Amino acid sequence: KTYSQSLLFFYNNFYFFHYKKNVNPETMLLPYLRKKRILFSALSLYVCIYVYCECNVICASLFLFRRHYPANACLIPICSLYGAAVTTVEGIGSTRTRIHPVQERIAKCHGTQCGFCTPGMVMSIYTLLRNHPEPTLSQLTEALGGNLCRCTGYRPIIDACKTFCKTSGCCQGKENEVCCLDQGINGLPEFEEGNETSHKLFSEEEFLPLDPTQELIFPPELVTMAEKQPQRTRIFGGDRMTWISPVTLKELLEAKVKYPQAPVVMGNTSVGPDVKFKGIFHPVVISPDSIEEMSIVNYTDNGLTLGAALSLAQVKDILAKVIRKLPEEKTQTFHALWKHLGTLAGAQIRNMSSLGGHIVSRHLDSDLNPLLAVGNCTLNLQSKEGKRQIPLNEQFLKKCPSASLKPEEILISVNIPYSRKWEFVSAFRQAQRQQNALAMVNSGMRVFFGEGDGVIRELAIAYGGVGPTTVCAKNSCQELIGRPWNEEMLDAACRLILDEVSLPGSAPGGRVEFRRTLIISFLFKFYLKVSQILKMRDPARYPSLADKHASALEDLHSRHPWITLKYQNANPKQLPQDPIGHPVMHLSGIKHATGEAVYCDDMPAVDRELFLTFVTSSRAHAKIVSIDLSEALSLPGVVDIVTEEHLNGVNSFCLLTKPEKLLSTDEVFCVGQLVCAVIADSEVQAKRAAQRVKIIYRDLEPLILTIEHESWENTLILVYFPLTGEIHLGGQEHFYMETQSMLVVPKGEDQEMDVYVSTQYPKYIQDIVAWILKIPANKVMCHVKRVGGAFGGKVIKTGIMAAITAFAANKHGRAVRCILERGEDMLITGGRHPYLGKYKVGFMNDGRILALDMEHYSNGGASLDESLFVVEMGLLKMENAYKFPNLRCRAWACRTNLPSNTALRGFGFPQTGLITESCIMEVAAKCGLSPEKVRTINMYKEIDQTPYKQEIDAKNLIQCWKECMAMSSYALRRTAVEKFNSENYWKKKGLAVVPLKYPVGTVSLAMGQAAALVHIYLDGSVLVTHGGIEMGQGVHTKMLQDACQTLLKRLEPIISKNPGGTWKDWAQAAFDESISLSATGYFRGYESNMNWETGEGHPFEYFVYGAACSEVEIDCLTGAHKNIRTDIVMDVGYSINPALDIGQIEGAFIQGMGLYTIEELNYSPQGVLYSRGPSQYKIPAICDVPAELHISFLPPSQNSNTLYSSKGLGESGMFLGCSVFFAIHDAINAARQERGLSGPLKLNSPLTPEKIRMACEDKFTEMIPRDEPGSYVPWSVPI
């Protein structure tokens, strides 16, 4: 036999050839390219590697299949790329050659902020355009369904996508002579503008045209190789693993006989994560390459046969064609599979995952296996002994030896039968997020009736997410055969299935009662769907579906996002060259889009560079009995392990009021606390050694995780209506795209250190590094080129890790790099503080609040960090937009055994503001008034005082409120929502509008100071140096818009002498006349003060005002929700750059929406964070963008103490996301009122599908079994 001796593929049209001895099968494409220094771009999001992020997307092209597909570079083994052409963001365009239209448009449409996710976005769009040069918007949004962005809110990315769509998707008036795009929501016009919206933030006329003929061609060498050279099995052997790629079925079967335990890998989306995160090792891996028998698509008399090697994306396309071609009665199973494939993972993973791999993996939350099981599918297996066929049934899914694959067998193809005339198949799923999220529960259901008699002849129901693998309700289905399809059957089915498909109270994944409810809620949906079809087929025989049930069959409101923006236009009196007030593109936008923007880990390796990784505590509160480093130190490549003993008495550093400990070797107070640091020659060696560090603990008591607090002073408020209440708010992960990153390089003389770090606060990094090295701060130079997102999370913990990294670099005299992976980052760094808010409120029957007594309990974690500042800011901002005549509010930062929580966008106000708004909601409910009326009556008047006696002019607050009510057509839509709710029992809509008053300032004069330096060089170039950090907010861009005013005044005499000269001429003339071409700027900070003893002061300089109105629709049976429309009105003062300001507002809004709805941190009872990556922790995706989003700025207003009367907008919009929370609250209220539930409604944040579903109580929630508290150990605890 002839085996290939080399690995050959093309990268950006460059030829790559490696002899097999130089190829390590364990290497993925991304680290391979970066190690070879072939790839320098922000494809560097290797720190994620969780499959669900899609920031390192490449385009892979295969000649044999004539297709281009997006894939995750962090998951592709290089050995699988033989004969492929790989294209990255650097290959499609650059500033050195030419930029690609996709790169240009995403930048000029302002679709980039921090820029770390941008290369992945670009490549997802690019790959789609290679396959569909004129895509629909549906195709574009589907292509981006797996890409995540934490900054932009997705709107500008959607704008960029729309420019590639040739048509809008309009029906051309074919539906009742009304344009489908103008049908509106609730039968109302979509958007009535009091004034014309502003011009677009970009000009499409300036864009480069998309010309498919100018794209990279498929390398001719690979075409020749594919067409003429015989295919040969390839074997690559590494130090630990052997990779075998058979090219014929015979060779594949022989390999499986020789290595029966070797996994068969196609896309590596299952085996890869298992190897990475579960520590599973395979000495041999078999990866079939282009085996024809495994890629077949055969149509038979009985059904469709699909090759096991087909990707899920290919399967989806095949099913779509079959559905269009065949009659509906034959495609029931196909349609259900196609529907599930639309939400399964993202486009990148669907293109990598294979049908066979998905089936054989038998994951507990598999979306396809329940459907394939109930659809009577069969599996075609083959080995050297011959062929056989087995059913995909319960025994197969349970991995029973008699019903599963033998070790030497290969799954060749899958038979999917056609459905029959009276056979009906449906699929259901519910996840934390609508797309690219694992299902909490999914189901496949099939029923077959006798000819027109409505009697069950066959019934099959299977569930995923309720057991260790797919669970079939076989006994229940058998019991129901022979029964007529009616409500009595449904009631019996629910009880039978709940008995058979049981979930213990401590089941992994938690949410037990919710999952039990979904089991029968899905069954009810199936019952209704089948009943409706039966009625349509034979109206005389079958009863009509009750009107109230019809809405259960309809999908949530869905349409492509439509956005309008109304911002301030630039002053017409400005000079044409004056950029102030114009939507100037982000300074680094093009570099983000081309991958040329350099982040910390993009920096080339320094000679003899070391890599550092941390060993963290696995216990939440314990005494460290011993630490054994011997095995770790014995591993090759390990240089050192730094412990507390090495730090020479500098193991703590005080930033605020209490010192923060760097490393712990005595006692640990949370899981994820830093214990020691391993330094090795490579990242892989460091991580392997860290796993070998053996720590023995002795658990200590108490173990405190939650902040539930029962104390409450017995005070009496003498008003007409006293009320008490409380609300709990969960935490939030920063989820910046670039994880914690640092590189420390000793300069070699005078103990000087260069620290390259991703941080918001380089001064703190400088101070703590100088402290630990015992050197003056002037010997530490911090470099921060840009930050790939931060949101408050790159200060305290970043400083601690940078200090330890610097210590290692100084000790060994070598550069040391430390880059956290996503799971490590989330485990170590903490996030937003969970809050418990308690309140007593006294009010009149007209809704006027006369007295409010409130307590805040903040979960600070194991150390103080920035918890004190968060609590103080939360206190000072808690009243939001309301004037409470008598107010007392107290707050505590509670120490618990969780990782220390820290600053996060909004700095306490998103929590305390929600507590206040919840109080408003309860007062409204008690008074029988609308929340909007209670909000209006308690709102600040035009000239007023805050609780801390600072004067406030609330004119713009009132104007924002009124404009938002008008712009959103609130009154009309309230009526329409009520009408909709009266007509739909299982779907409900909610509408809510909230005001915003956000104080801006630091409560510290020193913290508000800033400086800048401007140099004009003789060649006319200008250098601007300032103290701000570019982390996506566009501070560099705004600085350049207003950089040279002082210097221009100095140059006026020169310019007047030579008005026709160039900038370079004027600079040279100024130099000749000894006129300084340097200028400094200094701002000493706002005059601010706060006396906490008296509760009075002037802590803030000004206020940002706004209002937001959101409308949502919920599914009462599943808990799913959709944000239909949001209107935002903001007082921005005078906008220096509308594009950046709108981006900050909508990005914050979407992040806030995530905080209040889907972002949920799950901890075990032992304090271990479960949700450590994008597969477990869900931030908003493109599917969560409101179907309509309208943003409007108030006209310019004066603010003499700020630059051009501008206002800081990065934090304030976060709170407006709670308008979605209260809209969901409104919808739940409507459902409960219709069901006659009048008791108190306590809804905590986030309002996840679980909380929505369980609040919409009905007969199904009453039917489920409930475990007695204390009879089981819960999987997770509420934090």
Residue range 743-756, pLDDT digits in tens: 999 999 999 999 99
State the alpha helices, DSSP H only, in 745-843: 762-773, 796-812, 822-829
> CB of 822 within 8 A of CB of 796?
no
Place of tokens 């074997």: 235
- Considering only 25-34, 109-118, 428-437, 1028-1037, which range has the smallest mean pLDDT? 25-34
The C-alpha atoms of residue 995 and residue 936 are separated, in whole angstroms, by: 9
Counts of helices then strands in the chain (DSSP H, E): 36, 46
The C-alpha atoms of residue 446 and residue 469 are separated, in whole angstroms, by: 19
Q: Is 1004 annotated as a binding residue?
A: no
Q: Is 266 annotated as a binding residue?
A: yes
Which residues contact residue 1240 at a Cβ distance below 8 angstroms, ignoring those fewer than 6 apart? none
pLDDT at residue 256 above 90? yes
Sheet strands side by side (includes 753-757): 638-642, 674-680, 610-616, 816-819, 741-746, 753-757, 780-783
Give phi and psi for 918, each to the nearest 5.
Answer: -65, -40
CA atoms within 13 A on the CB side of 491: 5
Q: What is the average per-residue pLDDT within 34-60?
A: 57
> CB of 618 within 8 A of CB of 670?
no
Tokens of 89: 């963001």
- Considering only 427-436, 451-460, 810-819, 1196-1205, which range has the smallest mean pLDDT? 1196-1205
Q: Is 151 annotated as a binding residue?
A: yes
The model's confidence at residue 709, banded by pLDDT at 50, 70 and 90, is: low
Measure CA 369 to chain center. Answer: 27
Which residues contact residue 438 at a Cβ distance below 8 angstroms, ignoring those fewer than 6 apart? 365, 431, 1175
> CB of 588 within 8 A of CB of 597?
yes
The C-alpha atoms of residue 456 and residue 463 are separated, in whole angstroms, by: 20
- Crossing angle of helices 1218-1234/909-927, nearest 10°? 30
| Exposure b/e, 720-743, CB count within 10 A at least 16 = b | ebebebbbbbbbbbbbbbbbbbbb
Which residues contact residue 572 at a Cβ distance below 8 angstroms, ignoring those fewer than 6 apart? none
pLDDT at 208: 92
pLDDT at residue 158 above 60? yes
Q: Is 1218 annotated as a binding residue?
A: no
Which is the catalytic residue, given 733, 821, 1211, 1257?
1211
pLDDT at 309: 96
pLDDT at 3: 53
Q: What are the pLDDT digits (tens) for 1217-1236?
A: 999 999 999 999 999 999 99
pLDDT at residue 18 above 70? no
pLDDT at residue 121 above 50? yes
pLDDT at 316: 97
The model's confidence at residue 1, banded by pLDDT at 50, 70 and 90, is: very low
DSSP, collapsed to helix, strand or coil, labels residue 816 as strand
Q: Is 433 annotated as a binding residue?
A: no
- Considering only 140-154, 1043-1057, 1251-1265, which range has the smallest mean pLDDT? 1043-1057
> CB of 726 within 8 A of CB of 711?
no
Measure CA 916 to chain center. Answer: 27
Tokens of 752: 């000087």
Q: pTM of this prediction?
A: 0.95
Angle at 251 between CA 246 and CA 256, to 5 degrees: 90
pLDDT at 1017: 93
The model's confidence at residue 560, banded by pLDDT at 50, 70 and 90, is: low
pLDDT at residue 173 above 60? no
> CB of 910 within 8 A of CB of 1152?
yes
| 3 state SS for 568-612 | CCCCCCCCCCCCCCCCCCCCCHHHHHHCCCCCHHHCCCCCCCEEE
Q: Is 114 annotated as a binding residue?
A: yes
The model's confidence at residue 195, banded by pLDDT at 50, 70 and 90, is: very low
The C-alpha atoms of residue 427 and residue 368 are separated, in whole angstroms, by: 9
> CB of 1224 within 8 A of CB of 1121?
yes
Helix or strand run (H / E) with residue 694: strand 694-699
Four-residue CA torsion sign, 347, 353, 356, 357: negative
pLDDT at residue 712 above 70? no
Q: Is 905 annotated as a binding residue?
A: yes
Place of tokens 């173990």: 703
Measure CA 130 to chain center. Answer: 27
Kindly report whether the peptide bond that precedes residue 230 is cis, defined as omega within 30 degrees of 0: no
Q: Is 269 annotated as a binding residue?
A: yes
pLDDT at 1230: 97
Q: Is 411 annotated as a binding residue?
A: yes
Q: Is 282 left (phi over 0), alpha (psi -120 to 50) or beta?
A: beta
The C-alpha atoms of residue 1078 and residue 1269 are separated, in whole angstroms, by: 71
Terminal-residue alpha carbon distance, the chain: 61
Strand partners for 1082? 1011
Domains defined along the chain, listed by start = 3-237 (1.10.150.120), 246-502 (3.30.465.10), 613-641+656-700 (3.90.1170.50), 1010-1083 (3.30.365.10)
> What percentage of residues in the chain have a pLDDT greater than 90?
75
The C-alpha atoms of residue 1079 and residue 1051 are separated, in whole angstroms, by: 12
- Considering only 60-69, 183-192, 1197-1206, 1242-1251, which range has the smallest mean pLDDT? 183-192
Which residues contact residue 920 at a Cβ distance below 8 angstroms, ignoring those fewer than 6 apart? 849, 882, 931, 934, 935, 938
Measure CA 858 to chain center. Answer: 24
Q: Is 48 annotated as a binding residue?
A: yes
pLDDT at 719: 52
Q: What is the average per-residue pLDDT within 508-531?
A: 97
Strand partners for 57? 72
Q: Is 265 annotated as a binding residue?
A: yes
Give phi and psi for 576, each to the nearest 5.
Answer: -55, -35
Q: What is the average per-residue pLDDT within 807-824?
A: 97
pLDDT at 184: 53
Place of tokens 């929630």: 1261
| Exposure b/e, 408-430, CB count within 10 A at least 16 = b | bbbbbbbbbbbbeebbbbbbbbb
pLDDT at residue 717 above 50? no
The model's confidence at residue 50, banded by pLDDT at 50, 70 and 90, is: very low
pLDDT at 185: 53
Quote the DSSP letter at residue 1224.
H
Query: Is 1211 known to be catalytic?
Result: yes
Which residues contact residue 768 at a Cβ distance below 8 angstroms, ignoring those fewer than 6 apart? 653, 655, 799, 800, 802, 803
Q: Is 429 annotated as a binding residue?
A: yes
Q: What are the pLDDT digits (tens) for 873-890?
A: 999 999 999 999 999 999
pLDDT at 588: 95
pLDDT at 4: 58
Q: Is 117 annotated as a binding residue?
A: yes
Q: Is 170 annotated as a binding residue?
A: no
The model's confidence at residue 64, banded by pLDDT at 50, 70 and 90, is: low
Instruction: Compute how many other C-beta atoms are within 10 angstroms of the C-beta atom of residue 178.
Output: 12
pLDDT at residue 191 above 50? no
> What percentage of residues in the chain have a pLDDT greater than 70?
93
Q: What are the pLDDT digits (tens) for 1112-1141?
A: 999 999 999 999 999 999 999 999 999 999
Which pairing describes strands 753-757 and 57-62: parallel, antiparallel, or unpaired? unpaired
Q: Is 957 annotated as a binding residue?
A: no
Q: Is 149 annotated as a binding residue?
A: yes
pLDDT at 579: 82
> CB of 266 within 8 A of CB of 313?
no
Q: What are the pLDDT digits (tens) for 1046-1087?
A: 677 788 899 999 999 998 999 999 999 999 999 888 888 888
Kindly report whether the peptide bond that precedes residue 702 is cis, defined as omega within 30 degrees of 0: yes
